[in-house]
A and B are shown apart, each in its own frame.
Chain A
């Protein structure tokens, strides 16, 4: 991406209002960079609900099934041993490990999915539009790749109407 427009807010409430305005005007906001999660911004930006919960559920289910299944296999098929007269399929004994594996896999599958999906990770390439985005600025990023000059103007206008500061067009 070579051409884009950035503008920032210094207050999250202004940001949300601004974002709503800009989007109402039909401008597509590519991304917003904020120093902290702004409540309601995802709604304002029209984001879908996350599907990471499903990944977590899947991971957890796999963890539970594999965990329980493995224990049951070991105790009944692979190497049945008599421990203190307990039944081979000693279900209550299998619960803790099943639970832990479910949680472990749920957590890890979800977090890994998150990092992979967003290509985040140790040493990931970072594009910083404004270093203060992680401090006190709420930066709005609008794609201007294929925008004509008047389109850019329109966007800049919309941004300024929406109360954004520091409107910058980069080529």
Chain B
């Protein structure tokens, strides 16, 4: 294979799910890049862009009907396994120090264009979250460091290597301290590579977690004698009690937890029980919004509450404790309930406070949850960071004790609470090497910038939990002149080996031995690389027996809090999260599942407190020294608890991210050496003026309409139709003046289980990625012009101070009696003979009549030229820089990029339907139920979305439609939607 550009492909087996069914004759159409591609082996940035000229052109052709075909050059030699117009899927692993997800990377004509969950992983089972879905766009982030540099001047890798090694040698010679500062490393091979480096240059590896769980590690150290994080199984827990642990959003391993959590709460397939989830928190989190019972709790009261629960539980078990802590009636009831669920309950706390975690451990111990819902023999490895080690490092730096610092994929100058201290210390470090993936605030303060590959360009492996191995393989050759950090470490340590070989060797030596069923390593390797997943079933050495003493000591220390001030919670939301991918326009435009705000962070404040302080939405305030921040009144927020999202206020991340929101990391306090994400007694100062916040939903009540139908588990078990009684009544009256159309063959339909949807927004990003949905920027969102084809409506019900939250994903309902189709004057939107409501973009003249007439308001209009597809030039409206030639590479060539003035909407991923139909046809068989999966359903970690053929009575979607819980949105209008919703069932006793 001469074309180095596709070098990664030669080793990779084609995904068997993507059988090559194209007749040989068709391959003559295969396009190829010529000369330039071969020259690109030296791969400077300019060369790269030349090479990409072809791809850009093809993307442009694919994405714009009005752009002329410039030049199509056939492949001189066709790369194996690459068939133009056909996607290949490669198994890989996404881990950026926060989120972990085994994935499949969809590669089209050499470009990774979509991330999907890998179903083979038993840990995530195909689940993804928004950031995983969005990560593919990070690959095409133009702001990334494109080549090594020294003090801002670009240098070659050879030069960088030479100088760094020289300096390392010097440090080593004088016995100076060398430190590698990285995020949590879950890759065994990377750890091996780092060890190799540390062998060559003795030093220290400090792992630093932005969302730290170091207190939990410390607590476990005290209780079990080992600093670790156990693995949790929310799927086995019938009663979940969470103290501010946002386990569906940001706590430890949310993708995995969402999967487990939702599986145990499904009432489909005849399941008649679901877990009960009780949530204590001050801020209204995604997880809290899903709880069966959500109890508002001031962060400062959390410790005492947990203590009271522990006391009560102990007293129930005959072990009394003397304590000044009061036990409320609620807690008594809760303790009773927990006590009845011994071994099938799970109590978690999100706090990064050792005493809290110690008490929670004691509770779980008391309830016998260790060994059932919590395993200590399988460790969750995603949070290995130690706040104390980090603090120590900074101390040492400030003392001038650190001579060489390698900051790999960390951004402490942005996200460490005491960034100034770090900065001061940094000045005293001799050799400063930053190895960032994305442009950030930290790297620019370092002398050397040795940019790391994006994960889609890299080899890697991971062990997220003990024995749960996954592999990562590049889906594209590095776009810029970047190099895998591991390769850099190896190189500097004197090992001239590429990381692929290193990983392979590491697996052969350390992991293969654990497996028996393969004849040799190559077979094993090829198989595991294809699957991307290897689960050995290994477990850790047994930890020592639970030592309750530290927990009891902690309990003894607890005092009732008397704090009366305003308390602050800083949190990572489901989109921007910790800000690592802040430069990702998809994530910036992703509305928060609770507030529905995007493109900013803000201060969430309870209605009562806002009233007291005379604050209204969009007033600006200062929290401590951070601000100005806009205020959003957030029902459900504890009276005196305010919250600010992390991840915003980036100053050096790239155009979409820079200057968006304010950095809330400096608000984080340190307590006992651990970062505290809740801060008591913060000052809230009102400033003059207002600041506009863009929200995709501005009305929050259902106005008493039957939009989301709800019931309780109790009523459901009595009568499966409960909450949905109105449907029978409506059905009786569904008379029509013309007969209902029958569809022979397929009749596509979708069912959405409202009980399952957690509001994680993965579907929204997946849909944007799959369907080339434009990002329109804050100003346009504020004008209510966001383009998302799928949205998750969120309504508050009940009390304004402590409302219940219900949500509902809404996309085009593909009505069989679609009001929109009737009114299009040019027949641009019609009904297909498979029941799809289809849009012919080329035919659309943009009257917006269909949109007006859509009762669900799911149609979206291209108000401006958001992507350069317009025939007129110079009128591009692209504040998020989505239409740069680089970012355009993420476009899905199977989906038309819509021009200015055109209506667009959900197509049920018709391109996927067609693709699978073709596959079935070439294989001369019927389509199998579940074969066609739209992007949203694929992305959903909760499996809330089911898609299939309504004409097949045995399809899953037909069964859902037949369920007593099923109803259609606004069905009384007789629009005959092809989307069904299953009633939301809450496990409450009320």
* A84 part of interface (Cβ distance < 8 Å): yes
Interface of B is mostly: loop
- Those of B813-829 within 8 Å (CB) of chain A: 815-822, 824, 827
Residue among A81, A85, A87, A90 making CB contact with B818, cutoff 8 Å: A85
* Bound-complex Cα distance A86 to B738 (A): 7
Q: Which residues of A contact B833 (CB under 8 A)?
A: 82
B829 to chain A, nearest CB (A): 9
* Bound-complex Cα distance A80 to B295 (A): 58
Q: Which residues of B contact A84 (CB under 8 A)?
A: 815, 817-822, 831
Q: Which residues of B contact A83 (CB under 8 A)?
A: 821-822, 824, 827, 830-831
- Those of B730-757 within 8 Å (CB) of chain A: 738-741
Q: Which residues of A contact B739 (CB under 8 A)?
A: 87
Q: Does A85 lie within 8 Å of B976, measured CB to CB?
A: yes
Q: Does B817 lie within 8 Å of A85, measured CB to CB?
A: yes
Cβ-closest chain B residue relative to A81: B830
* Bound-complex Cα distance A84 to B850 (A): 11
Q: Which residues of A contact B822 (CB under 8 A)?
A: 83-84, 86
The bracket for how many chain B residues form the interface is: 10 to 19
Cβ-closest chain B residue relative to A79: B827
- Those of B704-744 within 8 Å (CB) of chain A: 738-741
Q: Which residues of A contact B827 (CB under 8 A)?
A: 81, 83
Q: Does B830 lie within 8 Å of A85, measured CB to CB?
A: no
Give the one of B740, B820, B831 with max A CB within 10 A.
B831
Q: Does B830 lie within 8 Å of A87, measured CB to CB?
A: no
A100 to chain B, nearest CB (A): 14
Q: Which residues of A contact B741 (CB under 8 A)?
A: 82, 85
Total A-B contacts with CB atoms under 8 angstroms apart? 36
Q: Which residues of A contact B816 (CB under 8 A)?
A: 85
A124 to chain B, nearest CB (A): 40
Q: Which residues of B contact A87 (CB under 8 A)?
A: 738-739
* Bound-complex Cα distance A90 to B821 (A): 14
* Bound-complex Cα distance A84 to B824 (A): 10
Q: Which residues of A contact B740 (CB under 8 A)?
A: 85
Quick one: CB contact mask for B817-852 with A, threshold 8 Å, 1 for yes? Answer: 111111010010011110000000000000000000
Q: Does B738 lie within 8 Å of A82, measured CB to CB?
A: no
Cβ-closest chain B residue relative to A74: B827
Cβ-closest chain B residue relative to A85: B817
Q: Which residues of A contact B738 (CB under 8 A)?
A: 85-87, 90
B905 to chain A, nearest CB (A): 15
Give the one of A84, A86, A90 with max B CB within 10 A.
A84
* Bound-complex Cα distance A85 to B814 (A): 11
Q: Which residues of A contact B831 (CB under 8 A)?
A: 81-85
Cβ-closest chain A residue relative to B853: A84
Cβ-closest chain A residue relative to B815: A84
B819 to chain A, nearest CB (A): 6
Quick one: CB contact mask for A86-99 with B, threshold 8 Å, 1 for yes? Answer: 11001000000000
Cβ-closest chain B residue relative to A82: B831
B838 to chain A, nearest CB (A): 10
Q: Which residues of A contact B819 (CB under 8 A)?
A: 84
Cβ-closest chain A residue relative to B820: A84
Cβ-closest chain A residue relative to B738: A87
* Bound-complex Cα distance A146 to B784 (A): 85
Cβ-closest chain A residue relative to B831: A82
* Bound-complex Cα distance A87 to B738 (A): 7
- Those of A113-157 within 8 Å (CB) of chain B: none
- Given pairs A83-B822, A84-B817, A84-B821, 15 additional interface contacts (CB within 8 A): A82-B830, A82-B832, A83-B827, A84-B815, A84-B818, A84-B819, A84-B820, A84-B822, A85-B816, A85-B831, A85-B976, A86-B738, A87-B738, A87-B739, A90-B738
Q: Which residues of A contact B (CB under 8 A)?
A: 81-87, 90
Q: Which residues of B contact A (CB under 8 A)?
A: 738-741, 815-822, 824, 827, 830-833, 976
Interface CB pairs A-B, < 8 A, 25:
A81-B830, A82-B741, A82-B821, A82-B830, A82-B831, A82-B833, A83-B821, A83-B822, A83-B827, A83-B830, A83-B831, A84-B815, A84-B817, A84-B820, A84-B821, A84-B822, A84-B831, A85-B738, A85-B740, A85-B741, A85-B816, A85-B818, A85-B831, A87-B738, A90-B738
